[in-house]
Chain A
Amino acid sequence: MNLEAFQNRVMPAKNKLFRFALRFLGNEEEAKDVVQEVFIRVWNGREQMNEIQNWEAWCMRITKNLSLDRIRSLNRKQTQPVEEAFHVHQQELTPHETTELHESMQRVNNLIASLPEKQRQVIHLRDVEGYSYNEICEILELDMSQVKVSLFRARNAVREKLMKINAYGL
Chain B
Amino acid sequence: MDSKRIDELLNKYWNCETSLEEEQQLRAYFTGTEVPEQWKETAALFRYFEDQKKKLLNDVAFDHQVIEKVRRPEKGKIVKLFYNSLRIAAGISVLLVATWLVRTEIRKTTPQEIVDTYDDPKLAFEETKKALMMISKSFGKAETQAKKINLFNEAQQEITKKEEDIETKL
Task: Please report A residues at the B interface, Cβ cutoff 8 Å.
Answer: 3, 6-7, 11, 14-15, 18-19, 22, 32, 35-36, 39-40, 43-44, 101-102, 104-105, 107-109, 112, 124, 126-130, 132, 148, 151-152, 155-156, 158-159, 162-163, 165-166
Residues facing A in B66-80 (CB within 8 A) are 66-67, 69-71, 73
Contact A104 to B62, CB < 8 A, known contacts A14-B57, A152-B15: no
Closest chain B residue to A109, Cβ basis: B48
User: A36-B69, A166-B38 given. 20 additional CB < 8 A pairs?
Assistant: A3-B67, A3-B71, A6-B70, A11-B63, A15-B55, A19-B52, A32-B57, A32-B62, A44-B73, A101-B51, A107-B44, A108-B45, A128-B53, A129-B53, A130-B24, A159-B14, A162-B44, A163-B41, A165-B41, A166-B41
CB neighbours of B24 from chain A (8 A): 130
* B contact set with A: CB distance below 8 Å: 13-16, 20, 23-24, 38, 40-42, 44-45, 47-49, 51-53, 55-57, 59, 62-63, 65-67, 69-71, 73
Main secondary structure of the interface of B (DSSP, over half): helix
State whether B70 touches A127 (Cβ < 8 A): no
**Bound-complex Cα distance A163 to B59 (A):** 39
